Amino acid sequence: MEQQITNIEQLKKGDKIWIIGPDGLIKIMEFVCIHPHNPEYSIFLNSCYDGMPKFYNKRLSEEHFELYDGSDECWERMYLAEIEEHKRRIQVIESRLQEVRNKMNKDERN
């Protein structure tokens, strides 16, 4: 069952969330706590349980994060989201390719 996380208050210590990262791959993060010196940030661990750079909490309302529960249904949603991101990236590349081809055709006519 999809559970989008939009506010840091929805998480408790040990909860995991996921997002499709800037590299187009699944990124799973474990919530540790709200930053003790600045409540606009939180501390998370990556999937190797290493500390991550501080997390700006407002990202939760600006990007699409979901609760990770490790279920097959959760993995299905993650893989489908990853596929959609790669399709989007392919469309961008195909568009660039078409622009180059249009330019080459125009140059050949001149």
Q: pLDDT tens-digit profile of 4-54? A: 999 999 999 999 999 999 999 999 999 999 999 999 999 999 999 998 999
| Total of domains in the chain | 1
Q: What does the pLDDT average to over 54-81?
A: 97
Report the pLDDT value the prediction gives residue 106, as an integer from 0 to 100.
Answer: 83
Tokens of 70: 């490790």
Tokens of 84: 């959609």
Encode pLDDT of 70-86 as tens digits: 999 999 999 999 999 99
Q: Which helix (H) or strand (E) holds 43?
A: strand 41-45
The rounded distance, in Å, linking the Cα atoms of 66 and 19 is: 7
What does DSSP assign to residue 64? -
Q: Find tokens 């990853």 and name the residue.
A: 82
pTM: 0.85
Domain of 60, in residue numbers: 4-109
